[in-house]
A = this chain, B = another copy of it.
Amino acid sequence: MNTTAPAGSRDLPHPSREEIRLEGVLHALSDPMRLQIVQELAAAGGDELTCSQFALPVTKSTTTHHFRVLRENGVIQQIYRGTAKMNGLRKRDLDDLFPGLLDALLAAAARQSARQN
């Protein structure tokens, strides 16, 4: 795994675009909490969000775990800005690797949410 963020002791490891695997992306999205995180990041339209901006009904350590799974599978980037860990969707990388996939996944997630409510 390469680090795409600038060098520094607090940088978190990210797969390069070429290292992102479809199976890994699907694994990352196979959990309701992680799917919700990705939906919220997509709704933010490219803006970065801190972990605390997500209203997840789980403990902080579980939240941290979910963000790590998303990062390690290339779905999100996590970058420290001062004391805040900021999260952003790797939409450009995913769209480049798998055109149309992220949009189809988000549409499916929205459809499932609508069906439940």
> Which residues of chain A have a CB within 8 Å of any CB of chain B?
21-24, 26-27, 29-32, 35, 97-101, 103-105, 107-109, 111-112
A30 to B24, CA, bound (A): 6
Which residues of B lie under 8 Å from residue A30 when comparing CB positions? Answer: 23-24, 26-27, 30
Task: Tell me what chain A mostly uses at the interface: helix, strand, loop, or mixed.
Answer: helix
Give Cα A35 to B105, complex, Å. 16
This protein's copies in its complex: 2
Docked complex Cα distance between A27 and B30 (Å): 5
Please judge, given known A-B contacts A30-B27, A30-B30, whether A21 and B101 are in contact too, CB under 8 Å.
no
Query: Complex formed: what's the CA distance from A27 to B24 in Å?
Result: 10
Which chain B residues lie closer than 8 Å to A100 at the CB level?
Answer: 104, 107
- Is the beta-carbon distance between B104 and A101 smaller than 8 angstroms? yes
Question: CB < 8 Å: which of B23, B101, B111 contacts A97?
Answer: B111
Choose one: B27, B98, B105; the contact of A101 (CB below 8 Å): B105
- Starting from the known contacts A99-B111, A104-B105, 20 additional A-B residue pairs (CB-CB under 8 Å) come to A22-B108, A22-B112, A23-B29, A23-B30, A23-B32, A24-B30, A26-B29, A26-B105, A27-B27, A30-B30, A97-B112, A98-B104, A98-B107, A98-B108, A99-B107, A100-B107, A101-B104, A101-B107, A101-B108, A103-B104
